[in-house]
Structure 1
């Protein structure tokens, strides 16, 4: 085959261009620090780079979610820790109040402190994180309690109470002799609110069929807490359903257990610190136009903290700051005030009754304390889990970032060597081509 000068020039130009392209490639790698500049340079590297970049971004988001969840749980834990301290102090006060060595005036001082503790309970229930109320579920713009008195808002509330929640408590009744009183045990179930709208009769939707319920009584009546056998009194002003003691203790007609008492009632007057009904009950805001219907919330704020891993960060106020907690404190405070101001009772009777009240409150405080401590332990376990998750995410971030670097980034030492080697080849191709191109027709004439 005859090799012409034209063919030699073409081959030389092709080789020079190819060497120049390779040198440009290594120069670009050296200047950018990356192995490839476009997917077609190496599709496998490109695909792996996309995967690793996605992993790194996901890990960063999971870490952010975990840190946000930790912050939310931290605020919740602090609020519960404060509540635990308040309840422990309330317990100490109840122990003091139940002691016989304390006079009625001493117990009045205890009530003053309990009143301050109740106000602080309200503050803890309404604690917020970055302007979001943490115990309100999805309604983070709404506090758990009313922050000011509301006299115009009307709620139609439906509330269910299990008969197993019938509680025994002490009250004062006439002994049968005018001017003489004795302590009497009474049995009740209690609604979340007292002072039910006086112009609206509360309806008990599903009472025991064998007991008649009288809804006309008020707590101020002499026989309000001593219904006859086979009858129960619903006290509208205190929100209590009072049972005959014999019926509760199994004497026919006995209160069947389990039985659920479903109440439908209206509540209008709300004081500052009262619980917001839509946070605790199925209810309808009849003041709003059109009316707004609410279902008792059980909201779960879920954060995704890792691959296929989620965690619920919120605690519902209705699970910790219960209606019983609020009403128990209101009741002990109001009861002691009423006893102290009652001039018809002897000091000895007052002392005994106050002791009974504080002793009963002691049991209730222990129950509330157990509820809060249990929730606090749940929060603590979640925070421990988040700490472990964050540590693992940090390790994953290091690993995937290293894999991303190994996949994308060029080895600088290798890149410099490749560039210098290619530069030598390129210069050699230029030199050899220049020698070839210097030949003329005269070089072939002998």
Structure 2
């Protein structure tokens, strides 16, 4: 094979172009600190990076939902704690009023305090978090509990309204906290009016308060004594709901830890696929720069020959 000046020039230009591309590649990687800067660099790697970025965004969205749910359960726990204290005070006043030695005026004084505590219970169960009522079921924009009074302004119980026509449907709000994983928040306030939605259950707050007020008006000490057991049931119902809320909180806390751990793993995987090894890339860049400069030096020797050299 005859080696001509033209062949040598073409070979030089081809090698110089390759060295220039390699030098530009490493220079761009060092400038951006990214392994790939466009899909054409490595389509498979770019696809994996995009998937990881989307997963990280989704992970952040789940974390926001989890944190919101944790705050929600904290507010619920505080509200139930306040309601429990009011109910315990009501029980103490009922026990005091059941004493036969107490006068009618004394019972009326207890009745006034019980009425105040009833309002306290309703206020606690109507707790609002970020514009949403935490025990309002699906209808979180309207206060679910209301103190019912007669024409004389006397308390005759409390009522619950969540805007649902179907009293048997689940009124708990559901939150997706991980792919394919949802959790129900304890938001159905009907549990305090008993699960069946009827007014004659012993743990129904509405009927319990109504019976207490009536017994105080009529000085019915026997009925007041019987209401002590119902007071225990009402308190137990609220405490049970608080325990359920606590269990939900614990699950959310565990989910949040897994969410944070998953994000660290995703970030690590993204770094492995996207970020460069700075020391390694700089070494490669230096080698390519040396090769490029050598090509230029050799080219200047090859291309400088012209017809004048033969004259």
Q: Same fold (TM over 0.5)?
A: yes
**1-side partners of 2:222 and 2:24: how far apart?**
94
Residue 262 of structure 2, aligned match among 392, 396, 402: 396
Cα 1:111–1:135 change in 2 (3 A) is same
SS of 1:304's partner is strand
CA RMSD of aligned residues (A): 2.6
1:235-269 alpha-carbon deviations (Å, 9 max, x no partner): xxxxxxxxxxxxxxxxxxxxxxxxxxxxxxxxxxx
Tell me, what secondary structure is at the counterpart of 1:395? helix
Structure 2 counterpart of 1:308 = 180
| Distance in structure 2 (CA, Å) of the matches to 1:121 and 1:316 | 16
When residues 148 and 321 of structure 1 are mapped into structure 2, their CA distance, relative to the original with a 3 A threshold, is: closer
Question: 1:87-126 to 2 correspondence within 5 Å?
Answer: 87-126=87-126
Q: Is the Cα contact below 8 Å between 1:145 and 1:273 reproduced in 2? A: no
Higher-Rg member (1/2): 1
1:82 to 1:279, Cα distance in 2 relative to 1, 3 A = farther
- Is 1:441 matched with 2:295? no
How much has 1:358 moved relative to structure 2? 1.5
Which structure: greater strand fraction? Answer: 1
Quote the residue 2:206 is aligned against.
326
Q: 2:297 maps to which residue?
A: 431
- Larger fraction in helix: 2
Indicate if the aligned counterparts of 2:215 and 2:224 stay in contact, CA closer than 8 A: no
* Residue in structure 2 matching 1:275, options 159, 168, 175: 159
Shift of 1:35: 0.5
Q: How does 1:40-439 map to 2 (within 5 A)?
A: 40-146=40-146, 274-276=158-160, 294-296=165-167, 298-321=170-193, 323=199, 324-337=204-217, 339=218, 350=219, 354-439=220-305
Instruction: Specify the alignment match of 1:234 in structure 2.
Output: none
C-alpha distance in structure 2 between counterparts of 1:120 and 1:320, whole Å:
15
In the alignment, the residues of structure 2 paired with residue 422 and residue 143 of structure 1 have an alpha-carbon distance, to the nearest angstrom, of 71
Q: Deviations over 1:153-191 (max 9, x none)?
A: xxxxxxxxxxxxxxxxxxxxxxxxxxxxxxxxxxxxxxx
Hey, what's the Cα distance between the residues in 1 that align with 2:129 and 2:51? 36
Structure 1 unaligned spans of 5+: 150-193, 196-270, 281-293, 340-349
Equivalent-residue separation in structure 2 for 1:114 and 1:34 (angstroms)? 69
Contact in 2 for aligned 1:133/1:141 (Cα 8 Å):
yes
The total of aligned residue pairs comes to: 301
State how far apart, in whole Å, the 1-side matches of 2:124 and 2:92 are.
20
Deviation at 1:62, TM superposition (A): 1.2
Runs of 4+ in 1 over 6 A off after TM superposition: none
Structure 1 distance, partners of 2:254, 2:142, is 33
- The C-alpha deviation readout for 1:328-358, integer Å capped at 9, x for no partner, is 2133223322x2xxxxxxxxxx5xxx32122
Deviation at 1:101, TM superposition (A): 4.2
For 1:2 and 1:147, the matched residues in 2 are separated by 107
Q: Is the 8 A contact 1:304 1:311 kept in 2?
A: yes
TM-score (normalised: structure 1): 0.63
Q: Deviations over 1:1-22 (max 9, x none)?
A: 1122111111111111111111
Alignment TM-score, normalising by the size of structure 2: 0.88
